[in-house]
Amino acid sequence: MRLLFVLFALALASAAHAGGVDRLKAFIAGAKTAEADFSQTVADKNGHITQQASGRMAFARPGKFRWDYSAPYEQVIVGDGSKLWLYDTDLNQVTVKPLGDVIAGTPAALLAGDNAIEKYFSLKNAGEMDGLEWLDATPKNKDTTFQRIRMGFKGDVLVQMELYDFFGQRTTLRLSHLVRNPAIAPSRFRFTPPKGADVIGE
């Protein structure tokens, strides 16, 4: 009887911690496009907050995404399927580079990549915490910005991401008002450098 109880308890624990990876796969399978507001906080290795920002993001799989930062400064990041564009409004400067493997170990790959996410990440369930089902995603390509990424789901909705870099910094992204499969104009994922802007990398 005791053995059965232990096995039952283990089965329950396994079921409780099986959610994160399944939630991500279901989210990707069910969301060809998505839009959400986001807030971003960066903390150093001692936990001190060094940056805060907010804006709106959107993606259309595979390979197209856009992050519009509105506060405290304006910045635009666009992936058009072949190139990555970064526009700093204050500097009036555009950086462009081939998309390629640039996003392989980033949140963009997890959200806007193709369905073969396990080609780029090792995924592991990370249990439940703060009412969310979590997973750990470790990039298989070691030449990346982030050491690992945590994703937290509430039901089938992605609400938080935590990105850990090699310097001990943690970037927390909180998503709100997420809408799955909205109609997004293709022009949203195209970027034309503003007249007079310095363009680097092209």
What is the dotted CATH code of the domain comprising 2-200? 2.50.20.10
* Six token digits for residue 28: 């990707």
Confidence of residue 120 (pLDDT cuts 50, 70, 90): confident
Q: What is the pLDDT of residues 185-201, one digit of tens each?
A: 999 999 999 999 999 98
Domain ranges of the chain: 2-200
Place of tokens 């971003």: 40
Strands 49-60 and 33-43, sheet pairing: antiparallel
Instruction: Specify the pLDDT at position 10.
Output: 31
Share of the chain above pLDDT 90, in %: 53
Contact between residue 110 and residue 152 where contact means Cβ atoms under 8 Å apart: no
pLDDT at residue 160 is higher than 50: yes
Average model confidence (pLDDT) for the chain?
83
Closest CA to 67 of 115, 109, 108, 24: 108
